Amino acid sequence: MTDGTDLKLDNGSRVAVLGGGPAGTFFSYFLLAMAERIGLDIEVDIYESRNFSNLGPTGCNMCGGIVSESLVQALASEGMDLPPDVVQRGIDSYFLHMDVGSVKIETPLHEKRIAAVFRGRGPKGSQNDDWRSFDGYLLNMAQEKGAHLMVERVTEVFIEDKGKPQIKTKRGHSQVYDLLTVAVGVNSPALKLFTDMGIGYKPPGTTKTFICEFQLGEEKIGQHLGSSMHTFLLSIPRLEFAAIVPKGNYATACMLGYKIDKDLVNAFFSAQAVKKNFPADWESAENACQCSPRMNISAADPPFFDRLVFIGDSGVSRLYKDGIGAAYRTSKAAARTVVFEGVSKEDFRNHYWPICKSIKNDNFLGKLTFMIVGLLKKVRFARRAILRMVSLEQSKEGSRLRMSTVLWDMFTGSAPYKEVFFRTLHPFFLSKFMWNVAVALWPFKNRPSKGEAS
């Protein structure tokens, strides 16, 4: 074990991870894997009181449950292939729905590259015994790598005399660690333990979202939603963005907006562009398993101290999209820093913070991009121009997919916002878009073009 002054891990060092969601389990898994490569023998305890094999809210970490195309590929490169019982639906395309029409955008290789997952074992009341929780699957992988699961609720955290973090649990367990990694979500009351410590930790800014999961039956899902993610750009006041994702015989609806309440949810489900994707006899999502979790929209300040690091949602996450992907990136960056550099504030500043900063800076351009989309969706001719441009790209074999890839990467979270933003500034993109705006404004041309769905 290290003494109080040595800010590096050594054989026998102990690491505590608060939270057994993706950030905590990715961190534990990669920390142990990297330590093993260099012959470092460390102990990792994951504190998680939630049981991911439960149905409904008690087993769920409350999010839309999308593993992005880029994360699916990164995990495959790591040799972590998501099994079919953990993925409830492989997604190979998405539909963009607006009041002026809908259009389907396919992956270039017609391949299922996005994974729709349940964070817990499934919605409350679900009868599917053969589904596995995504979070539970990752936790199991971390345990197989050697992490110990502590089914305990942490009630106290403080820095002991030698400068090491010490934690106490509800059941009276107490332990000093060489490093404490905080991987709890922004909805967890555990974050308050750190704001109350007086170390200067400011938690991330959040916004409220709405998620509901409702049963439609596999046949109806196949007929109406298929293997596509359905995104909606609707001019409904206070609604920023919404998506419906098929998962097995369920569908998950996610809404982002300002002050989401029952009226806004009802307005969304009553919109014709939404209703047409459901069976005619489908009434509403009132009996669905639903929640209104908070979502990270700005970085914690700062997300690291000596022997203390905040990863995933409690540190920095991507704006609106690919939160699981951000958890993977920050947890790996933290694990690399801990194994190859050290656990001091300086080590984290020099080797962990650059990744957080790149996500944070990218979010700035993401905010700008969503703001522009927010303005465009309020203007009917702009919506028509977007629809026309995508429809033409999708209907012509070999056509350059300028708008399609911008929208795909933006809505699926597959590429950094910076890349998406700068692609929209390309002269060819702008000239094509302006041409489509001109055509959309011309009264005799305002008919749906070839490839444009009604």
**Other beta carbons within 10 Å of 373:** 20
What's the CA gap between 22 and 320, in Å, rounded?
Answer: 17
Residue 128 or 175 having the CB closest to other proteins: 128
DSSP string, 286-322: TTSEEE--EEE-S--B-SEETTEEE-GGGT---SSS-
Count of chain residues binding other proteins (CB under 8 A): 38
Helix (H) or strand (E) holding 155: strand 154-159
Cβ atoms within 10 Å of 428's Cβ, excluding its own: 10
Stretch that binds other proteins, among 38-46, 78-86, 142-150, 366-374 (CB under 8 A): 78-86
In three-state secondary structure terms, 203 is coil
Q: Which of 3, 5, 37, 189 binds other proteins (CB under 8 A)?
A: 37
Q: Which of residues 202-221 bind other proteins (CB under 8 A)?
A: 218
Residues 216, 251, 253, 355: which binds other proteins (CB under 8 A)?
A: 355
CB 86 within 8 A of CB 248: no
Structure tokens at 33: 């894997």
Report which of 142, 131, 253, 135 is spatially closest to residue 184, judged by C-alpha positions: 135
* Closest CB to other proteins among residues 206, 227: 227
Q: Which phi and psi angles does 16 have, rounded to 5°?
A: -105, 140
Q: Binding to other proteins by residue 93, rule CB under 8 A?
A: no
169, 358, 446, 449: which one binds other proteins (CB under 8 A) = 358
- Contact characters 270-309, other proteins, x per CB under 8 A: ----------------------------------------
Task: For residue 144, state whether it binds other proteins (rule: CB under 8 A).
Answer: no
d(Cα 258, Cα 133) in Å, to the nearest integer?
30
Q: Which of 387, 402, 371 is nearest to 436 (CA)?
A: 387
Task: Give 87 or 289: the residue with its C-beta nearer to other proteins.
Answer: 87
> How far apart (Å, rounded) are the C-alpha atoms in residues 390 and 335?
41
Q: Residue 315 and residue 217: Cα distance in Å, rounded?
A: 38
**108 to 127, contacts with other proteins by CB under 8 A?**
109-113, 115-116
Q: Give yes or no for residue 86 binding other proteins (CB under 8 A).
A: yes
The one segment of 106-114, 232-240, 280-288, 310-318 that binds other proteins by CB under 8 A: 106-114
- What string of DSSP letters covers 222-282? HHHTTTEEEEE----TTEEEEEEEEETTEEEEEEEESS--HHHHHHHHHSHHHHTTS-TT-
318 binds other proteins per the rule CB under 8 A: no
Give the rounded distance of the alpha carbon of 370 from its chain centre.
16
Q: Which two tokens stand for residue 325?
A: 């992907």
Contact status: 311 vs other proteins (CB under 8 A): no
Work out whether 79 is an interface residue with other proteins (CB under 8 A): yes
C-beta closer to other proteins: residue 43 or 419: 419
φ/ψ of residue 105, rounded to 5:
-120, 120
Comparing CB distances to other proteins, the nearer of 118 and 429 is 118
Does residue 450 belong to the site contacting other proteins (CB under 8 A)?
A: no
Query: Could you give the string, one character per residue 235-254, with x where binding to other proteins holds by CB under 8 A and - elsewhere?
Result: -----------x-x------
The reply to whether 36 sits near other proteins by the rule CB under 8 A is no
Q: Is 447 in the site for other proteins (CB under 8 A)?
A: no
- The residue (of 101 and 312) whose beta carbon lies closer to other proteins is 312
Tokens of 11: 């054989």
- How far is it, in rounded angstroms, from Cα 109 to Cα 157? 49
Contact between 34 and other proteins per CB under 8 A: yes
| 84 in contact with other proteins (CB under 8 A) | yes
Which CB atom, from 88 or from 391, has the smaller least distance to other proteins?
88
Tell me: does residue 375 bind other proteins (CB under 8 A): no
Among 61, 70, 277, 337, binds other proteins (CB under 8 A): 70
Q: Is 196 in the site for other proteins (CB under 8 A)?
A: no
448 binds other proteins (CB under 8 A): no
* Residue ranges binding other proteins (CB under 8 A): 30, 34, 37, 70, 72-74, 76-79, 81-90, 109-113, 115-116, 218, 227, 246, 248, 329, 332-333, 336, 355, 358
